[in-house]
Amino acid sequence: QIQGFFEKPVDHLFASTIFLPYLRSLNLPNLTIASPDMGGSKRAYAYSKALESDVVICYKQRAKANVISHMELIGDVTGKNVVLVDDMVDTAGTLTKAADLMIERGALSVRAICTHPILS
């Protein structure tokens, strides 16, 4: 939609052109792609399809901005090497809570990739 604000042609750039070859190079057995929130589920599914892996999604509820009151995992990560795929990471509260949840639920390892690391 942002393309409508420019007079010059604009192309949407996908980070997957960089991230997918990198993830393949890791040769992770039992790979599972995860979304740290419902909003990223479509992105996570696209990565899982390209990598022929499982996908899981975190469902979170916020008490207020930057405060997660509850997070639940949809899917199974037991014995899996998980890669969390996110777009914008500000405080990394959601990402770290999701990673902790994956480890609690039996993931062997958890990694994360993001396209816009604000990291405030």
Ordered by where they begin, the domains of the chain are 28-117 (3.40.50.2020)
Backbone angles phi, psi at 117, to 5 degrees: -85, 100
| 60 is an active site residue | yes
What spatial distance separates the first Cα and last Cα of the chain, rounded to whole Å?
Answer: 27
d(CA 82, CA 84): 6
Cβ atoms 74, 59 nearer than 8 A: yes
Span 14-63, pLDDT tens digits: 899 999 999 999 999 999 999 999 999 999 999 999 999 999 999 988 77
pLDDT, tens digit (0-9, with 9 covering 90-100), for 74-118:
999 999 999 999 999 998 989 999 999 999 999 999 999 999 999
What CA dihedral angle connects 70, 83, 45 and 88, to 10 degrees? 70
Catalytic residue, from 8, 42, 49, 60: name it: 60
Token pair belonging to 79:
């014995």
Predicted structure pTM score: 0.88
User: Helix, strand, or coil here: 1?
Assistant: coil
DSSP-assigned beta bridge partners for residue 84: 34, 112
